[in-house]
Structures are given as structure tokens and as C-alpha cells.
A and B are shown apart, each in its own frame.
Chain A
Amino acid sequence: MTDDARAGAGGSPVIATGVLPFPLDFEALYLKNQEHYHRFALAVLNDRQDAEDAVHRAYFEILAHWPDLLADGNVHQQTWAILRRTVISEKLTSYRDNLAELTEDNDVARALCTLPSRQFDVMVLRYLCGCATADIAWYLGVSASTVDYHGRKAKHRLEQAMPARIRRSN
């Protein structure tokens, strides 16, 4: 097991044989966020195992940098950034297909994938994951009004991106 020893946050080795519980605040974050993290990952990756692996890698990275993340102020913004990078990079090319499959609508999926990342996150969390604005604000580490702002911008962009036939048909 000592082969598994990895550098701790302060650069000191973490000995695998010792009983080292997680930092309590990290575990709290894990428990609070894991459900929506998994849902977000599943929405993007469309595969349970991929989603769990991606979230696992994200938490692994968050844990490795935990003291630094705490010291830097906005821990939520940073943990979300880590999750996002882990999930989106998991299958960079195919997540548009995944979203198309999930939404059963190529146009919406394509438009969604062209959104700036903040807007994309807000839309996926709000509509696909079913998160309330307050929760989205918590996950992204921004204020609720910022979430709403990104939501409005995203809607506007989506509506512009819809093919003319859909716009006409409604």
C-alpha cells in the first residue's frame, strides 16, 4: 500500500498505511455536491460509469489541492472548474452527440454546445439536473443574480441559434 503514497497538499508524503480520515469540510462538500455533480456528468457523458469516473477524478484533484482551494477564497468556483474540466474533457468530441441523444433534438443539443461555458453549465444544471437557482449559485460559486443573468443570456443565444423553421413553427 505504501506504493500508493502520494504527495500531500503541503508536499509531504501521505502514508497510505496510516488511518487518515478526509478533512471534514472536504467530506461535507463531497456529500453535499456529489448528487448534482454526478447528474451533470451523466448529462454530458451519457454513461453511468464514465460519469462516476469523471466525478471521482474531479474529487481526487479537489482533495489533492484542498488546503490551497480553501485558502484561495472562492472554493466553489474552483471546485466547479475542476469538475467541469474533468467531465468535459472525458469525451471531448462526443458530448454533443450525448446531449443530442438525451434531448432527442439535434438542434437544441448543437445550440447548447455552442454556448459559453458558464451559460452551458447554468442551462444543464437548471434544466437537465433540475437544480434550483440557489443550488446552481452554490455549485458555481457565484451569486444567484449572476446565475439568472447567465440563464437569460443562454436563453437568448439558444433562441437565436434555433433554425428558422422552428422559430417560424412556434
Chain B
Amino acid sequence: MSAQKGSVSHTEQVLAAAGLRLRARQPAFDVPAGLLRLARDAGYSPVPDTVPSVSRALRHLKEFVSWSLDQPGATTHVERYAATLGESDAYRLLTRDRDTEEIDLDGAHVFACMLYLAGHPESAQFWWRFTAGAGIGASALCLQLLHRSRGETAEAEHWREMLLLVVDLDDDVAVKATFVSTVGRFAAYTRRHRPPAPVTPALDAEVRRLATQDDADRLVCRPDAGLARRLQDCTGSL
């Protein structure tokens, strides 16, 4: 080995050893803090760590709605609901007390969820109001989230109050607040660990068929047996 080559080797050894020391002591850099510092100094507003409440509400609503459709018995409820409505005269629908007694309210809630997922939020809102008024807490939660996602705070508060009334919780404000946020989180958790049955084109088409089968500009539609079957096809649950 030549003397020249040897000296380079010495340098390389020194550098390599120094590199090991350097890398051993380099502390972990706090990347998020670095980005925030940069954003602040560069005149960018730091992006808050929390999701805006309207986006969060919309996400929770979608998660909760998908979760509702995926529940065991969802299809049966819709079938019962469709059967009851099938017997009613359309023009007298929901005008009599016995409607709320005979109608399968859970089925109506599920139906509203289908309408929502199929892109008919106004129709969904109608049925949710009906079922929430009749004491279905899940519908009240949906309405609360729907209004919050639109930035309609007063309406959202109203349905939140209705929800708390329905579930008849302790009067403790903290318990109530925890309950509402926990339901949302529970739905989100469920969704993360059990992906929802997707809204298939078949279900979507079925809802569209119902929505447009009569007059144009029809806001509220009613389910029939075909829809229940489609839901069953989609979710595979009974």
C-alpha cells in the first residue's frame, strides 16, 4: 500500500468515526414544530391541529350514516317501513297519530340514511325530522351533525337538545357533552375498524328511481320493497 493511499485511508477513518459520533448525538428534530415556526415566520397562519367543526361534523355524519346502514336488522326495518307506507294513502301520510305508531321508525331512519348517502340530503332531513320527533335518537344526532356541517349552529343546538332529551341523560352538562362527542367518536372508530358497505350503483339507482318515479321536483320519496332488497344486497346484513 502506497504512502499516499495510506494517508487518505487515515482521513477517511477520521471522517467516518466523526460521522458516527455526529449521527449518534444528533437529536430528533421536531418536524411539526419546525413547520409551524416556518409558517409563522413566513406569514402563514399556522394550520390549527383541530379539524374545523363543520368538516368534522360532515365527516362524523357520513360515518354515522354508513354505520346505521350497516347495522344488523337494517334491511328488515326498511322492509317493514316500506310495507306500512304501502298501505297508507299517500296524501294522508304522516297526518294521523297512528302513523307514528305503526310506522317502523328505525326503518324510516335507515331509509333517511340511504337518501343521504345517495345524495338527497333534503329528503333525508325530512325523514330524520319525522323520526327524531318520534323519539329516535340516532336521527336527532344525524340532524345535529347535518346542521353543524352547514354552519347552522342554532338548528344544530336544537337537535342536540332533542337528542339529549330522547336519551334522557343525567342533567350534568359534562355528561351530556361527553355523550354527544362519544357517539361521534364511536361511529368513527367503528368505521375505521370495519369499513362501511359502499353505496353501490344499484342502491344509488334504486334511490334515484324512487326519488323520480312520480312528479318532477319531488323532494320527499317513500321506500318500497325493492329498495329494502337493494339495501340487503349492498350490506349483506339482516
Asked whether any CB of chain A lies closer than 8 Å to the CB of B41, the reply is yes
Q: What number of A-B contacts does a CB cutoff of 8 Å give?
A: 121
Closest A residue by C-beta to B4: A159
Q: A residues bordering B, Cβ < 8 Å?
A: 1, 4-6, 14-22, 27, 30-31, 34-35, 38-39, 42-43, 48, 52, 55-56, 59-60, 63-64, 102-105, 108, 111-112, 123, 127-130, 155-156, 158-159, 162, 166-170
Interface pair A127/B12, CB less than 8 Å apart = yes
A15 to B37, CA, bound (A): 16
If the complex has contacts A34-B31, A52-B34, are A166 and B7 also in contact, measured as CB distance less than 8 A?
yes
Within 8 A of A (CB), among B8-49: 8-12, 14-19, 21-23, 26-27, 29, 31, 34-35, 37-45, 47
Q: How far is the CB of A165 from chain B (nearest CB, A)?
A: 10
Q: Which residues of A contact B26 (CB under 8 A)?
A: 38-39, 42
23 CB-based A-B contacts, threshold 8 Å: A4-B41, A17-B45, A21-B44, A22-B35, A30-B35, A34-B29, A34-B34, A42-B26, A48-B27, A59-B34, A63-B38, A102-B22, A103-B14, A104-B17, A155-B8, A158-B8, A159-B4, A159-B5, A162-B7, A167-B6, A167-B7, A170-B9, A170-B10
Asked whether any CB of chain A lies closer than 8 Å to the CB of B3, the reply is yes
Interface pair B43/A5, CB less than 8 Å apart = yes
If the complex has contacts A34-B31, A155-B8, are A4 and B15 also in contact, measured as CB distance less than 8 A?
no
Interface pair B11/A159, CB less than 8 Å apart = yes
Name the prevailing secondary structure of the A interface residues. helix
Q: Which residues of B contact A31 (CB under 8 A)?
A: 31
Interface pair B45/A127, CB less than 8 Å apart = no
Interface pair B10/A22, CB less than 8 Å apart = no
Q: Which residues of B contact A15 (CB under 8 A)?
A: 43
Q: Which residues of B contact A108 (CB under 8 A)?
A: 11, 14-15
Interface pair A102/B29, CB less than 8 Å apart = no
Q: Which residues of B contact A43 (CB under 8 A)?
A: 22
Interface pair A123/B43, CB less than 8 Å apart = no
A103 to B27, CA, bound (A): 18
Q: How far is the CB of B184 from chain A (nearest CB, A)?
A: 24
A159 to B7, CA, bound (A): 6
Interface pair A127/B35, CB less than 8 Å apart = no
Q: Which residues of B contact A1 (CB under 8 A)?
A: 45
Q: Which residues of B contact A166 (CB under 8 A)?
A: 7, 10
A130 to B15, CA, bound (A): 10
Interface pair B45/A39, CB less than 8 Å apart = no
If the complex has contacts A59-B38, A166-B10, A170-B3, are A130 and B43 also in contact, measured as CB distance less than 8 A?
no
If the complex has contacts A17-B45, A22-B39, are A102 and B10 also in contact, measured as CB distance less than 8 A?
no
Q: Which residues of A contact B22 (CB under 8 A)?
A: 39, 42-43, 102, 128-129
If the complex has contacts A14-B43, A14-B44, A60-B38, are A128 and B7 also in contact, measured as CB distance less than 8 A?
no
Interface pair A38/B29, CB less than 8 Å apart = yes
Interface pair A129/B19, CB less than 8 Å apart = yes
Closest B residue by C-beta to A100: B18
Q: How far is the CB of B20 from chain A (nearest CB, A)?
A: 8
